[in-house]
Chains A and B, each alone.
Chain A
Amino acid sequence: MKNSFVELHARERAIVLLDKGSNRELIDPYDNMISPHLMPQGIVPESDDGIIIEKGTLEGKKLVIISIEGNFQGGGIGEVSGAKIVAALEHVLEDNKNGIEEYPIIILDTGGVRLQEANYGLLSISEIQNQIVALKKYVPVIGLVPGRVGSFGGMSITNAIMSYIIGTNRARIGLNGPEVIEQEAGVREFDSSDKDLIWNTLGTTQRQATGLIDEVIDDDIDSFKKAILSAINEKKDSHKTERTDFYLSLLDSLDPSEKLNISSYQKIFDNVKEQEHHLPQAVASDKKHTKSRGRQWFEQLTGIKNADSDVSTVLHAKKDGFEYIAIVPDENNPFPRVRHGEVGLLEGYTVASVVNDLINSEKNTPKEEKTPIIMVVDVPSQAYGYNEELIGIHMALAASANAYAKARQAGHKLIAFVPGDAVSGGFLAHGLQSNRLIALDDLDITVQAMSKASAARITQRTIAELEEATKHVPAMAYDIENYQKLGALYTLIKGVKGYDSDEASISKVRAAIDAALADDDDETLKFRYTNKIAKESGRKATNQIRKMMDEQWDK
Chain B
Amino acid sequence: MSKKNWASHRQAKDEKMQRVAPLLEGKFAKTSDVVKILERLLNSGDKVVLEGDNQKQASFLSKALASVDPEKVHDLHMIMSSISRPEHLDIFEDGIASKMDFSFAGPQSTRVSQMIADGSLKIGDIHTYLELYARLFIDLIPNVVLVAADKADKDGNLYTGYNTEETPVIVESAAFKDGIVIVQTNEVVDKLPRVDIPGDWVDVVIPADEPYQLEPLFTRDPQHITETQILMGMLAIRGIYEKHKVQSVNHGVGYNTAAIELLLPTYGEQLGLKGKIVPNWEINPTPTLIPAIESGWVQSVHSFGGEVGMEKYIAARPDVFFVGKDGTMRSNRAFGQMAGQYALDMFVGSTLQIDKYGNSSTVTEGRLSGFGGAPNMGSNPTGRRHSTPAWQSLKPDDNPLGKGQKLVVQMVETYGANKRPVFVDKLDAVEVRKEAKLANVPIMIYSEDTTHIVTEEGIAYLYKTSSMAERQAAIAAIAGVTPLGMTSDTATLNDLRNRGIVALPEDLGVRRTDAKRSLLAAQNMSDLIEWSKGLYNPPAKFRSWS
Do A and B form a real pair?
yes
Chain A 90-101 interface 0/1 with B at a Cβ cutoff of 8 Å (1 = within): 000000000000
A204 to B546, CA, bound (A): 6
Q: Are B541 and A199 in contact (CB under 8 A)?
A: no
Complex Cα distance, B544 from A196, in Å, reads 9
**Judging by beta carbons under 8 Å apart, are B541 and A169 in contact?**
no
In the assembled complex, the Cα of A205 lies from the Cα of B545 at a distance in Å of 9
A148 cross-chain contacts in B, Cβ below 8 A = 544
- Whether the Cβ atoms of A194 and B540 lie closer than 8 Å is yes
Question: What 0/1 pattern do residues 505 to 528 of B give for CB contact below 8 A with A?
Answer: 000000000000110010110100
CA distance A166 to B523 in the complex (A): 21
| Size range of the chain A interface in the assembly | 20 to 34
A193 to chain B, nearest CB (A): 8
Q: A294 interface residue, CB < 8 Å from B? A: no
- Residue in chain B with minimal CB distance to A198: B543
For B540, list chain A residues within 8 Å (CB): 194-196
In the complex, what distance in Å separates the CA atom of A6 from the CA atom of B518?
11
**In the complex, are the beta carbons of B545 and A169 less than 8 A apart?**
yes
Measured CB to CB, the closest approach of chain A to B466, in angstroms, equals 45
Minimum CB–CB distance for A408 against chain B, Å: 36
Q: Is A200 an interface residue (CB 8 A)?
A: yes
Complex CA gap A540/B266 in Å reads 50
A170 x B517 contact (CB < 8 A): no
The answer on a CB contact under 8 Å between B524 and A170 is yes
B 526-546 to A, binary, CB cutoff 8 A, 1 in contact else 0: 100000000000001111111
Q: Which of A4, A195, A206 contacts B543 (CB 8 A)?
A: A195
B181 → chain A closest CB, angstroms: 37
**Which residue on B lies nearest to A4, using beta carbons?**
B523
Q: How far is B545's CA from A204's CA once the two chains are assembled, in angstroms?
A: 8
Least CB distance, B527 to chain A, in whole angstroms = 8
Q: Which of B266, B517, B518, B543 contacts A199 (CB 8 A)?
A: B543
In contact, B545 and A203 (Cβ under 8 angstroms): yes
Q: Which residues of chain A from 520 to 546 have any CB-CB distance to chain B below 8 Å in the complex?
A: none
Q: Are B526 and A169 in contact (CB under 8 A)?
A: yes
Q: How far does the Cβ of A356 sit from chain B's closest Cβ, in whole Å?
A: 32
A6 to B266, CA, bound (A): 19
> When the two chains form their complex, are residues A196 and B543 in contact, meaning their CB atoms are under 8 A apart?
yes
Complex alpha-carbon distance, A169 and B521, angstroms: 19
Query: Within A177-213, which residues are at the interface with B (CB < 8 Å)?
Result: 194-196, 198-200, 202-207
Contact string against A for B residues 37-61, beta-carbon threshold 8 Å, 1 for contact and 0 otherwise? 0000000000000000000000000
Count chain A CB atoms within 10 A of each CB in B266, B523, B546 and give the residue with the most.
B546
Q: Which residue from chain A places its CB closest to the CB of B520 in the assembled complex? A: A7
- Contact assessment for A199 and B523 in the assembled complex, using a CB-CB cutoff below 8 Å: no
B: number of interface residues (CB 8 Å): 14
CA distance A171 to B546 in the complex (A): 8
Residues of A within 8 Å of B518, CB to CB, are 3-4, 7
Is A172 located at the chain interface by the 8 A CB criterion?
yes
With a cutoff of 8 Å between Cβ atoms, the chain B residues found around residue A169 in the complex are: 526, 545-546
Q: How far is the CA of A59 from the CA of B342 in the complex (A)?
A: 61
**Contact partners of A206 in chain B: CB under 8 A:** 546
Residues of A within 8 A of B544 (CB): 148, 170, 195, 199
Please, how many angstroms separate the alpha-carbon atoms of A203 and B543 in the complex?
11
CA distance A276 to B540 in the complex (A): 42
Inter-chain CA distance A172–B545, complex, in Å, is 8
Interchain CA distance A437-B502 in the complex, whole Å? 69
Contact with A along B324-366 (1 / 0, CB 8 A): 0000000000000000000000000000000000000000000
Most buried by B among A1, A6, A202: A1
Could you tell me which residues of chain A, from 111 to 153, have a CB within 8 Å of some CB in chain B?
147-148
CB distance from B540 to the nearest CB of A (A): 4
Could you say which residues of chain A place their CB within 8 Å of the CB of B545? 147, 169-170, 199, 203
C-alpha spacing A194/B539, complex, angstroms: 11
| Chain B residue nearest in CB terms to A147 | B545
Contact among B523, B526, B541, B546 for A172, CB-based, below 8 A:
B546
Residues of B within 8 A of A4 (CB): 518, 523
- Expressed in whole angstroms, the minimum distance between the Cβ of B516 and any Cβ of chain A is 9
Chain A residues, CB < 8 A from B266: 1
Using known A-B contacts A169-B545, A194-B540, A205-B546, determine if residue A7 contacts B526 with beta carbons closer than 8 Å: no
Residues of A within 8 A of B (CB): 1, 3-4, 6-7, 147-148, 169-172, 194-196, 198-200, 202-207
**A7-B518, A198-B543, A204-B546 known; 18 other A-B pairs, CB under 8 Å?**
A1-B266, A1-B521, A3-B518, A4-B523, A6-B524, A7-B517, A7-B523, A147-B545, A170-B544, A170-B546, A171-B546, A172-B546, A195-B540, A196-B540, A196-B543, A199-B543, A203-B545, A206-B546
By Cβ-Cβ distance, the 9 closest A-B pairs, closest first, are A203-B546, A195-B543, A205-B546, A196-B540, A199-B546, A169-B545, A195-B540, A169-B546, A170-B545
Q: List 17 A-B contacts (CB under 8 A).
A: A1-B266, A3-B518, A4-B518, A7-B523, A148-B544, A169-B545, A170-B526, A170-B544, A170-B546, A171-B546, A172-B546, A195-B540, A199-B544, A199-B545, A202-B546, A204-B546, A207-B546
